[in-house]
Amino acid sequence: MTYRRVMKADDLWEGETTGVVVGDTPVLLANVGGVVRAYADRCAHQGVALSRVRPAGKVLTCWAHGWKYDLLTGEGLNPRGVALTRFPLKIEEGEIWVDVDA
């Protein structure tokens, strides 16, 4: 695994999402109730960036066509049966590290 440092954990507040680029890969970071997740920053429908949208609790709704995702699991809520691509993430010494090669 090749983890890369992406940002300070304190800079991603609870309830926030942000987009970062790791290598050449756009990544969506989400802090949901103090749990940080990393996903490919693209909707499973048409590939548009999801980092443009603020979540409502743990639900993120795509701005283009309204697809909804659970930010804790990455699973589609509407429609079901789809999911965001999740990347391994760790927090060490106050820094967020993501592995997009896994």
- Of 64, 69, 79, 67, the C-alpha closest to 37 is 69
Query: What's the CATH code of the domain at 42?
Result: 2.102.10.10
Residue 53 domain-assigned (yes or no) = yes
1 pLDDT above the threshold of 90: no
Residue 69 domain-assigned (yes or no) = yes
Residue 60 domain-assigned (yes or no) = yes
Q: What is the mean pLDDT of the chain?
A: 96
Residue 81 domain-assigned (yes or no) = yes
Tally the domains of the chain: 1
CB atoms within 10 A of CB 12: 19
% of the chain beyond a pLDDT of 70: 100
Question: Domain span at residue 76?
Answer: 4-86
The confidence score (pLDDT) of residue 102 equals 80
| Confidence band of 43 (pLDDT split at 50, 70, 90) | very high
83 pLDDT above the threshold of 90: yes
Residue 46 domain-assigned (yes or no) = yes
The confidence score (pLDDT) of residue 88 equals 98
For the entire predicted model, the pTM comes to 0.94
% of the chain beyond a pLDDT of 90: 98
**Which whole number is the average pLDDT over 51-63?**
95
